[in-house]
Amino acid sequence: MKKLKIVGLSFGTIILLLALTWGIQGNDFFMHKVFSPKYEQVRRETFEQSKAYNQGMVQELENMQFEYIKAGKEHRAALASVILHRAADYDENKMPADLRNFIVNLKNERRN
């Protein structure tokens, strides 16, 4: 009878450990599923507020503005499309006035 009790206790312990492991893994998956998108959103917002991102974006848009000015008439439509696409998600208030005016003019040309 004592051996049967030991076997039953051992089997019960194994089942308990498996259930506990299953619960921890499931909880870890649930926590990852719920909180990972929020962590990623905070990381993205932090990056978009960084000095490096803002300076890089302005510099890139200014370089595209220069290329647009240099380009012939046949290439300007394609360049305007790329510039507007790139500037679409960027806050215009963070741009220098001349670049902001350039973007506004491109948008107005598109509407006409």
Shared domain for 59 and 97, answered yes or no, is yes
The predicted model scores a pTM of 0.66
- Closest by Cα among 83, 47, 49 to 63: 83
Confidence of residue 109 (pLDDT cuts 50, 70, 90): confident
The tokens describing 46, both together, are 């932090």
Shared domain for 44 and 89, answered yes or no, is no
The tokens describing 5, both together, are 């009790």
The tokens describing 39, both together, are 């962590």
Our count of domains for the chain comes to: 2
Shared domain for 44 and 61, answered yes or no, is no
The tokens describing 2, both together, are 């004592």
- Closest by Cα among 110, 86, 111, 112 to 99: 86
Shared domain for 60 and 105, answered yes or no, is yes
Residue 86's domain comprises 51-111
Shared domain for 43 and 69, answered yes or no, is no
pLDDT digits (tens, 9 = 90+) for 26-68: 788 888 888 899 999 999 999 999 999 999 999 999 999 999 9
